[in-house]
Amino acid sequence: MVAGIDVVVVTHNSERVIGDLLDSLGPALDGLPARTVVVDNGSTDDTCAVVAQHPDCVLVRSDNRGYAAGINLGVATLEGEGSILVLNPDVRLSPGCVRALMGALEVPGTGIAAPRVLNEDGSLFHSLRREPTLGRALGLGRTGLGFLSETVSDDAVYDAPQVTDWALGAVLLVSRSCHDALGGWDESFFLYSEETDICLRAADLGMVTRYVPAAVCTHIGGASGRSPRIHAMQIVNRVRLYRRRHGAATSWLYLALSVASEVSWLLRGKAESREAIVSLLSPRRRPPELQCSQQMMPI
């Protein structure tokens, strides 16, 4: 008997989108057995009421301890043995999406499968990423030198199945063996870089992330902007992740290049970069959720 898929959704004030995601799950599973848990991270809107309209879902109410913590809580709640489908609430899965992802996990050496991601208007979202490097910290890829960009931006690349360093975490199917070997998701990344971390750690153990263009989803929030505070969290966590994987000297250079990149964006009118610069240079002004305000180098 095939172990059922554990579907884990983490919500926070997601009343406008969670219903559509849950409605899309059945066709996406295409008959595969599954159980679904929604971990609500302290919503103050009607998210829980919407989830309650789906009696086949387990609802867990939790304080907001971050996205990774919510995933781990959901996995622990279901206590399953099969693969784990991690979903943002603002995605919609196309029919057969999960079955296609499951097929990719059958390829030897694969630990994580990621789908083709579309924006709400049907355009391609560039969801494939390269491992962070010093050159990519400076943002040189935005000058047109594609190989120096963290984001894979060539549309043609997205037509073929392939191994990627990491992928957008809105939809990821993680094999149970991969999840168990990694000990789950790193909860110190409150928001952002948790998917980078898990994909890179999986690759360290010989379990790659495989992109599956036949599996399609729509990311409702994929084309939207972000607040300055959220942008700061993303940039600080990038530095934190780099430091955990590299030596001190190159990590200080990575931090300096990250500051330079954000300054260049600020000069070009990207207002949210101001808070990122402040957070990089002034530890005590970093978002408190990151819990890295005691020293200059975030770890």
Same domain, 48 and 151: yes
Stated pTM of the model? 0.93
Between 195 and 1, the more confident residue is: 195
**Are 252 and 134 in the same domain?**
no
Looking at the chain, the number of H-run helices and the number of E-run strands are 10, 11
Confidence class for position 293, pLDDT limits 50, 70, 90: confident
Q: 199: domain CATH number?
A: 3.90.550.10
Same domain for 191 and 141? yes
Domain boundary among the residues 219, 239, 271 is at 219
Q: Per-residue pLDDT for 145 more than 70?
A: no
**Same domain, residue pair 57 and 109:** yes
Tell me what the pLDDT averaged over the chain comes to.
93
Q: Of 171, 200, 219, which closes a domain?
A: 219
- Mean pLDDT to the nearest integer, 192-216: 98
Q: For the ranges 116-125, 223-232, 253-262, which has the lowest average pLDDT?
A: 223-232
Residue 295 belongs to some domain of the structure: no
Q: Please report the pLDDT score of residue 299 as a whole number.
A: 81
Picking from 64, 59, 63, the residue whose alpha carbon sits closest to that of residue 7 is 59
Strands 84-87 and 5-11, how do they pair?
Answer: parallel
- The pLDDT of 204-223, averaged and rounded, is 92
Q: Are residues 86 and 159 in the same domain?
A: yes
pLDDT at 223: 45
- Residue 81 located in a structural domain: yes
| Lookup result for tokens 């990694």 | 182
Of 171, 165, 153, 235, nearest to 196 (Cα)?
Answer: 165
Mean pLDDT of all residues in 70-77: 97
% of the chain at pLDDT higher than 70: 94
Cα-based distances in Å from 11 to 15, 19, 39, 128, 130: 9, 11, 6, 23, 27
Positive/negative CA dihedral, 69, 72, 76, 78: positive
Residue-by-residue DSSP string for 14-28:
-TTTHHHHHHHHHHH
User: Does residue 181 fall inside a structural domain?
Assistant: yes
Residue at which a domain ends, from 187, 202, 219: 219
Q: Name the E strands within 101-228.
A: 110-118, 128-129, 162-164, 166-167, 171-174, 208-219
Range from 33-37, 150-154, 267-271, 288-292 that averages highest in pLDDT: 33-37
* Residue 298 domain flag: no
CA distance 253 to 24: 45
pLDDT-based confidence at residue 224 (cuts at 50, 70, 90)? very low
The more confident residue out of 299 and 232 is: 232
Asked if the model's pLDDT at residue 6 lies above 60, the reply is yes
Is the domain of 204 the same as that of 234? no
The parent domain of residue 261 ranges over 228-290
Tokens linked to 164: 């990627």
pLDDT tens digit string along 161-179? 999 999 999 999 999 999 9
Q: Mark whether 116 and 13 lie in a shared domain.
A: yes
